[in-house]
Amino acid sequence: MGQPGGTGASMMFMLFWFPGIWIVTVILTIVLTIKNWNDWFYQKRLSTIILLIFCTPIPIMITIATTIKNYGTENGAYRGMSWYRNIGSKRVKMERWQYRSGQIYVDKYFTADSINERTLGEDAFKKDSTWIYLDETG
């Protein structure tokens, strides 16, 4: 929503539709589980339990977070912040990548002509600084 021309449609999806879909799905799963209890948990017990556990993305996220130490990029950094500013006739973009510990990995600056950015979007931005990559100790 903070980017130019943003409609907020993705935010509306995340705030209203996504929780609504999850609530309906959970209620439907509970109703079907109660209705088919004998069939699912006595005749097909193992497959039912596995399917019920993995019917949400939560187990996948837990598995990724606990097994992959450097979740994000190849060295564990992720984009923690970014902003856009107009400076004269140029559009400046800044990305701050950091480690999970909060230590800064790199600050990246890009520039684009305002006209190019309107027509080409993110493809208009070109590297505009010397990027110094830091390890977790700084």
Paired with 126 in beta bridges are 111
Under 8 Å between Cβ of 105 and 77: yes
Average pLDDT across the chain, whole number: 79
Percent of the chain with pLDDT over 70: 86
Q: Is the pLDDT of residue 4 over 60?
A: no
Q: Which residue has the tokens 């100790």?
A: 137
113 three-class SS: strand
pLDDT tens per residue across span 100-136:
788 888 899 999 887 777 788 888 888 988 888 888 8
Check residue 43 and give its pLDDT.
77
- CA 136 → CA 2, 19, 39, 76, 104, distances in Å? 30, 36, 53, 10, 8
